[in-house]
Amino acid sequence: DQQVKQNSPSLSVQEGRISILNCDYTNSMFDYFLWYKKYPAEGPTFLISISSIKDKNEDGRFTVFLNKSAKHLSLHIVPSQPGDSAVYFCAAKNSGYALNFGKGTSLLVTP
Amino acid sequence: DTAVSQTPKYLVTQMGNDKSIKCEQNLGHDTMYWYKQDSKKFLKIMFSYNNKELIINETVPNRFSPKSPDKAHLNLHINSLELGDSAVYFCASSHRLAGPETQYFGPGTRLLVL
């Protein structure tokens, strides 16, 4: 039973534009949400997170938005750079439990 | 220095064999994990250890046996390997399991069972 869903397997964006990656979840008990970035042949690396008590968290070019009523979160990357090309995983957890990951969205930023 | 390291990086073996994957973290974390990424790219938790004690054990065949000799190490032993065990196995660690703890991942071990 997949509790975290990333319905777009891939996304292509031009350099300098905004990348928007989406994620939906089904478990209302999740209280912490994270985005991980993964390059080929490497492990996922932590990018940004948000607590369920917030609706926005910003870190440089990366902003995560959380809409609890819709059980939806998104990651905005502005401006997108070619080095941002990677697979982005959305993850969620309920305190005391392990992370639940989405299937990932492959982002390609073209020059 | 690599924060979370795994060995080997690649493992090719025959069905029925027994193999082990090792994981070490030098972050001083109390909690370690094993995840499996299958051919459909799903990353799923297998086990979690906190201070050498098993905390999470998802629905994993008992051919898989984790062992934590100390807080910095979590090894994964797999008996009687099957074709369906082919996947990428990631080790991770965090300060603790509860709360908003970021997990740090190793580079993965690519297992191919022939």
Give me the pLDDT at residue B7, please. 96
Residue A72's pLDDT is 97
Collect all residues of chain A within an 8 Å Cβ-Cβ radius of residue B90. 43-44
Mean pLDDT value of segment B66-87: 94
Q: How far apart are CA B77 and CA A19, in angstroms?
A: 41
Lowest mean pLDDT among A16-20, A35-39, B58-62: B58-62
Nearest by CB to residue A49, choosing from B42, B44, B102, is B102
User: What pLDDT does residue A61 have?
Assistant: 97
State yes or no: pLDDT of B98 exceeds 90.
no
For chain B, the straight-line distance linking the first and the last C-alpha, in angstroms and rounded, comes to 34
What integer pLDDT is reported at residue B26 of this predicted model?
95
How many percent of chain A have pLDDT more than 90? 87
pLDDT at residue A95 is higher than 90: no
| CA triple B55-B57-B61, angle to 5 deg | 155
For the cut 80, the answer to whether the pLDDT of residue B35 exceeds it is: yes
> What is the percent of chain B with per-residue pLDDT over 70, rounded to a whole number?
95
Mean per-residue pLDDT of chain A: 94
List Cβ neighbours of B67 (8 Å cut-off, separation of 6 or more).
B74, B75, B76, B77
Q: Which of A32, A45, A93, A106 to mutate to test the interface with B (most CBs of B within 10 A)?
A: A93
Task: Give me the residues paired with residue A10 across strands.
Answer: A106
pLDDT of residue B1: 61
3-class DSSP assignment, residue B52: coil
Would you give the DSSP letter of residue A81? -
Grade residue B100 by pLDDT with cuts at 50, 70 and 90.
low
CB spacing of B105 vs A43 below 8 angstroms: yes
Tell me the two tokens of residue A48: 């940004």
Find where tokens 């000799």 sit. Answer: B69
Answer yes or no: is pLDDT of B59 > 80. Answer: no
Q: What is the pLDDT of residue B51?
A: 82
Which residues have a Cβ under 8 Å from the Cβ of B62 and sit 6 or more positions away? none
> Per-residue confidence at B50, pLDDT binned at 50, 70, 90?
confident
> In terms of pLDDT, which residue wins out, B69 or B41?
B69
> What span, in angstroms and rounded, lies between the C-alpha atoms of A92 and A57?
15
> Over chain B, what is the mean pLDDT?
90
Q: Which of A53, A101, A106 to mutate to probe the B interface, most B CBs <10 Å?
A: A101
At a CB cut-off of 8 Å and minimum separation 6, what does B61 contact?
A: none
* Chain A residues whose beta carbon lies within 8 Å of the beta carbon of residue B100: 31-32, 49, 51, 95
Question: Which of A46, A51, A97 lies nearest to residue B104, judging by beta carbons?
Answer: A46
Which tokens sit at A60?
């440089």
Class of residue A67 by CB neighbours under 10 A (exposed 0-12, middle 13-18, buried 19+): exposed
Residue B25 has pLDDT above 70, yes or no: yes
- pLDDT score for A78: 97
Nearest Cα neighbor of A59 from A67, A49, A51, A73 is: A49
CB count, 10 Å around CB of B111? 21
Determine what percent of chain B is predicted with pLDDT higher than 90. 66
Cα–Cα distance measured from residue A59 to residue A14, given in angstroms and rounded to the nearest whole number: 21
Q: What 3-state DSSP class applies to B71?
A: coil
Confidence of residue B55 (pLDDT cuts 50, 70, 90): confident
In the structure, what pLDDT confidence band is assigned to residue A103 with cuts at 50, 70 and 90? very high
